[in-house]
Amino acid sequence: MPQSERKLYQFPISHYCEKTRWNLDAKGLSYDIENLIPGPHRLVTKRLTKGNRGTVPVLVDRGVVVADSTEIALHLERTYPSTPALVPVSGSERERVLELEAFFDETAGKHVRRWAYAHLFAGNADIAPLMFGDFPAPLRLLGRVLLPVIKQAIRKQYQLTPPKVEESRVKLLEGLERLEREIQGDPSRYLVGASLSIADIAAASLYGPLLAIEGSPYAARPGEIVPPAIAEMRAAVLARPAGQWVLRRYQEDRRRLARGYGARSEAANG
């Protein structure tokens, strides 16, 4: 397979990386994926960003290194403005898209991650298939060996303490309420205007881990045991307009744009 002009450095499990894959797919751009192991990944991300950033996603686009999923979305918009446009060029709609993108990046991004990891760990869920399933066999094994250390680092870095986890539950529910206000309770509406924008992509991808939607990286795996707190949250969110909205964005928009999760997409225009 010929190499793409773009390479995405990522964790398969990360919803920020899912957001970037969706942004790339929405632009019809091809990209290769390099999956990293949490922890040692910093050697790669720090080298790429000349010491500036440790996090994934990092995109290298024709030699240009861009870190942070929002920066990547904006870079893609500047570089490939019309394939299709995902941010209005000017005016109040542009301001709204940028504000909503930033809001969901923080609210869904940080708080879904903390809440979900806390309950996955408490319920002893096996996260290795999602974290390392796409890796070549030797790295899968290494990942399994390192998993207890990775989990400890996640507990510490994302502050998985009971008060913080409770705060995140409240915040992620507040984010769903805002989503419902913005779409006026109608799961068929986009957040701003009549077409998909980077704000929709941020909200849908960052709430995605709660819902296990078919075609998302978080879809149920055979034999997977879902901790009861997660199953309850999933049912409660799916019963409301915000959950139905995320489902529709995956079913109607993500499915149309992507050739499948994890595909090294050969591009429409890449």
Ligand X SMILES: N[C@@H](CCC(=O)N[C@@H](CS)C(=O)NCC(=O)O)C(=O)O
Choice between 69 and 168, CB closer to ligand X: 69
Helices (H), 183-254: 198-207, 228-238, 241-248
Nearest to 130 by CA among 219, 258, 206: 219
Applying CB under 6 A, does 42 fall inside the site for ligand X?
yes
Contact with ligand X (CB under 6 A) among 28, 32, 54, 60: 54
DSSP state of 208: G
Query: Is position 83 an interface residue for ligand X (rule: CB under 6 A)?
Result: no
Whichever of 38 and 143 has its CB closer to ligand X, that residue is 38
Q: Of the listed pieces 66-74, 180-188, 236-244, 252-260, which binds ligand X according to CB under 6 A? A: 66-74
Residues counted in the chain: 270
Q: Does 11 bind ligand X (CB under 6 A)?
A: yes
Binding window for ligand X (CB under 6 A); candidates: 11-19, 144-152, 234-242, 255-263: 11-19
Q: Say how far residue 208 (Cα) sits from the centre of its chain.
A: 7
What is the per-residue DSSP string for 37-98? -TTTHHHHHHHHTTTS---S-EEEETTEEEESHHHHHHHHHHHSTTSS-SS-SSHHHHHHHH
Binder of ligand X out of 25, 68, 101, 182 (CB under 6 A)? 68
State yes or no: residue 56 binds ligand X (CB under 6 A).
yes
Are the C-beta atoms of residues 14 and 32 closer than 8 Å to each other?
no
Minimum Å gap between C-beta 25 and ligand X is: 17
Q: Is 14 in the site for ligand X (CB under 6 A)?
A: yes
CA 241 to chain centroid: 20
Residue 69 makes contact with ligand X by CB under 6 A: yes
Q: Which residue, 11 or 245, is less far from ligand X as judged by CB? A: 11
Residues near ligand X, by CB under 6 A: 11, 14, 16, 38, 42, 54-57, 68-70, 105
